[in-house]
Structures are given as C-alpha cells and as structure tokens.
C-alpha cells in the first residue's frame, strides 16, 4: 500500500513506521528554555499514533540550544565547534530527560540513541543501529535519536538533523519521515514573497526543485533550512521512503497538517533493497571515478561499471570503499562499492576486460563496480 496523501501518515496500514523530526527552534524557546507545553502536545500525538498501531521514532535536535543557555555561551552555542560540542554535552542530558518525562507522562518509554555520520556510513555499525532500533520498537519504546554532537568533528558531522532523520529512517526501515518545520511546506519561491505558492506533492527532487529552496533557516537556531530538507528528501527517496515537510509551529502539528492537508509530500521514485538504500544514503565517499558518455549510458541502463569507460580517478580509495561516479561534466551519476584500489583503477582505466589480466597480473574481477553494489542517483 502506497502513501499518497498526508492523511496516509496516520494510517497504520500505509505508515506502520514513522519518523518525526523536531528542530531546535520548535523545541527551545528564545529564552533557551524548553517549550514544554508544545512538546507535551506533540508527545500526546505520538501516543495517539502508537495507539493506532504505528511505531514512532523521534529525531530530536535541541541539545546545543539547551546547553548553550545553561552554559551562557553566545550565539546559541554555535559560535565555534568547541562551543557547540560543549553545549551539546550539557544540553543532551536535559533533552533526554525532557523526552523521558513527556513520553513517560503518556505511558511511553523513551530510548536514547546518539549516532554520528560515520556510525551510519559503516555498514556493520549501520546494521547494528538498525537492529537496536527494531528491538526498541518491538519492545514498545520510542527511540529518540540525535547526532552525537560532542564527539563528531566538523568534517564528519551531519550538522543538521534533517539528513540524520532521513538516514535514521533508512536504518529503521521506516515508511515515512515527517520533518516539522517553521513553514507550511516547500514553496515555489521565498514564502515571504507575494504570490508564493506551496507545492503539495513533489515526485523526485530535480534541479528545478532545488532552485526553489531559499537557503538558511529563518529561526537562526537550528542549522537546517530548506536545502538540507531537500537533501533529506533525496536520501529518503532513494530508499523508497516518503518525506513530508509540515509546519511545526502550531500545537499538535501532525493532526493540523493532516486535518488541513497542508504540507509538502516528497514521493519516492523507487524502492531499493536494503543494501542499495544504505549505499545511496551514504554521506561520505572515499573517492570518485569519472566515466565517458558511453559508460554513463550503460550505467543508466542498469549495467556494471567496466574499466573501459573510465577516464579518471580521484582519491586514494581501497577495495570495498564507497566511491562516487561522475560524468565528464562533473555530474554525480551513482555511488557504489569499488572492487579495486585507486592505483589499480589508474592502471586499467580505458582498457577492455580481455586486457586486464595481463595489466594486473592476476585474474580480474568481473567489473570495477558491480551493478549489485551500485546505486544510481
Ligand atoms: N544535533 C543538533 C542539536 O541537537 C541540532 C542539529 C540541527 O540543527 O539540525 O542541537
């Protein structure tokens, strides 16, 4: 059964597993204190979803904002990485306590998971996280997930919880993600401009859709903005997961969005198997392979990546690493797990399969990236 309308997010048959992402600006008031009443109402919506038979996972920001207020750090704790990490260390305790209290008041048990980008990019750790989330859901708990901000360094941070929510949804094998935002949905231009209209439904995040997103969060508290929400929609979409942007600034935002059919629904174009879904959502690549037009066309038809179509190699990757595949214009076409290390690809690029054994000195693998280990973007 397919999700086609916002109302389907409340249908346990269509959405048995739902991720709800709550941003810092909704969770924390301008005074640095948690917005308890709003959160209590959201917790009641989560309890109602559970009572309908849905499983709910929360992705919650707010650690940095809460911690910065406690420590008295400027710029909401986002003045430097060190400030953010210290703030998160303090704020995360408060955040976890808040969810434990508010879900507890609904008779629900909160479970905390702190993950880094690397935890979810590493296949073994990803599968571990996935198993833990499933176990928690089966046991009736509500996983509350945040980035482990205190240890994740700048280069390896998600930095925004929108992409984290999409990645967590993959790990949780969720059906949909609801991103609670400070706007009703995606508009065709800056929503403050006259004549701006909201898109109720988006099928595939195209260039034109990206152009509609105005950058930067309006609240100045979170780090998301529409750009990261679109990236999240892409990650979710590659795994066949629906993503909705709805307005969180009202009380009981999920019921409001569904009741008024107000929000933007991003519908996935395909549903990859679990390995490909994980691969397509990987955030960091060890290198890149550049291919010619013939090879690009063959990949689009579902073929494996062969040495003969490769024109360039970037990065010092090793066998089994995830690499990006780009065309001659620099467009990202695919990502996949490579069968050779970078120096070997350098040696065999442009050569036909029959020539590889002699160049390498051993029996070559059937492809540089096998189609089963390759995801088109
Ligand atoms: N993980 C950050 C926090 O808890 C928030 C990231 C974001 O702004 O999306 O404060």
- Return per-residue pLDDT of the chain as tens, 377 residues: 789 999 999 999 999 999 999 999 999 999 999 999 999 999 999 999 999 999 999 999 999 999 999 999 999 999 999 999 999 999 999 999 999 999 999 999 999 999 999 899 999 999 999 999 999 999 999 999 999 999 877 767 888 899 999 999 999 999 999 999 988 999 988 878 888 899 999 998 888 888 887 644 454 455 557 889 999 999 999 889 999 999 999 999 999 999 999 999 999 977 778 888 888 888 889 999 999 999 999 999 999 999 999 999 999 999 999 999 999 999 999 999 999 999 999 999 999 999 999 999 988 888 999 999 999 98
**SS3 call for 186:** coil
Among 276, 74, 64, 237, residue whose Cα is nearest residue 158: 64
CA dist 103 and 245 (Å) reads 23
Q: How far is the CA of 297 from the centre of ligand 1 (A)?
A: 40
CA dist 214 and 227 (Å) reads 7
Terminal-to-terminal C-alpha distance of the chain? 25
Q: Domain extents for the chain?
A: 6-278, 285-376
Q: How far is the CA of 325 from the centre of ligand 1 (A)?
A: 30
Closest residue (by CA) to atom 5 of ligand 1? Answer: 61
Phi, psi of 135 (to 5 degrees): -60, -45
Probe residue for ligand 1, chosen from 66, 67, 181, 222 as the CB with the greatest number of ligand atoms within 8 Å: 222
The answer to whether the beta carbons of residues 34 and 273 sit under 8 Å apart is no
Residue 224 Cβ < 6 Å to ligand 1:
yes
Instruction: Please tell me what DSSP assigns to residue 213.
Output: P
- For 321, other C-beta atoms within 10 Å of its C-beta total 16
Please list, residue by residue across 160-174, b when 16 or more beta carbons sit within 10 angstroms of its beta carbon and e when fewer do: bbbbbbbbbbbbbbb
| Residue 110 burial (C-beta neighbours within 10 Å; 0-12, 13-18, 19+) | buried
Q: For 118-188, where are the E strands, in sequence order? A: 142-147, 176-181
Is 285-376 a domain of CATH 3.30.70.1090?
no
Which fold does the domain 6-278 belong to in CATH? Answer: Carbamate kinase (3.40.1160)
Whole-model pTM: value is 0.87
Alpha-carbon distances of 204 from 4, 171, 240, 247, 323, rounded to whole Å: 14, 21, 11, 21, 23
Residue 95 CA: nearest ligand 1 atom is 4
Instruction: Please tell me what DSSP assigns to residue 80.
Output: S
Residue 253 Cβ < 6 Å to ligand 1:
no
């Amino acid at each position: 059964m397919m999700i086609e309308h916002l109302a389907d997010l409340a249908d346990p048959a269509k959405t048995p597993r739902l991720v709800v992402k709550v941003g810092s600006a909704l969770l924390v008031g301008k005074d640095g204190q948690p917005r308890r009443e709003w959160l209590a109402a959201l917790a009641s919506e989560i309890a109602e979803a559970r009572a309908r038979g849905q499983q709910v996972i929360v992705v919650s920001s707010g650690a940095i904002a809460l911690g910065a207020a406690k420590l008295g750090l400027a710029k909401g704790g986002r003045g430097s990485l060190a400030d953010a990490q210290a703030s998160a260390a303090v704020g995360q305790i408060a955040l976890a306590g808040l969810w434990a209290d508010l879900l507890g008041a609904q008779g629900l048990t909160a479970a905390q998971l702190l993950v880094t980008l690397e935890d979810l990019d590493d296949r073994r750790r990803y599968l571990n996280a996935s198993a833990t989330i499933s176990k928690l859901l089966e046991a009736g708990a509500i996983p509350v997930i945040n980035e482990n901000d205190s240890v994740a360094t700048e280069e390896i941070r998600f930095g925004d919880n929108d992409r984290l929510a999409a990645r967590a949804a993959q790990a949780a094998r969720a059906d949909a993600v609801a991103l609670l935002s400070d706007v009703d949905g995606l508009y065709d231009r800056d929503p403050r401009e006259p004549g701006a209209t909201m898109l109720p439904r988006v099928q595939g995040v195209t260039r034109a859709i990206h152009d509609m997103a105005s950058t930067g969060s309006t609240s100045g508290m979170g780090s998301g903005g529409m750009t990261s929400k679109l990236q999240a929609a892409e990650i979710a979409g590659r795994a066949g997961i629906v993503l909705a942007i709805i307005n969180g600034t009202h009380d009981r935002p999920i019921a409001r969005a569904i009741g008024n059919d107000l929000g933007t629904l991003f519908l996935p174009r395909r549903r990859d198997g679990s390995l490909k879904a994980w691969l397509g959502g990987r955030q960091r690549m060890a290198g890149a392979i550049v291919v010619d037009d013939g090879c690009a066309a063959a990949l689009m038809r579902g073929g494996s990546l062969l040495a003969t179509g490769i024109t360039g190699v970037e990065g010092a990757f090793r066998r089994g690493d995830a690499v990006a595949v780009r065309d001659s214009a620099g467009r990202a076409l695919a990502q996949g797990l490579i069968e050779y290390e970078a120096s070997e690809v350098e040696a065999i690029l442009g050569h036909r399969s029959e020539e590889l054994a002699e160049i390498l000195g051993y029996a070559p693998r059937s492809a540089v990236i096998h189609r089963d280990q390759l995801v088109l973007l």
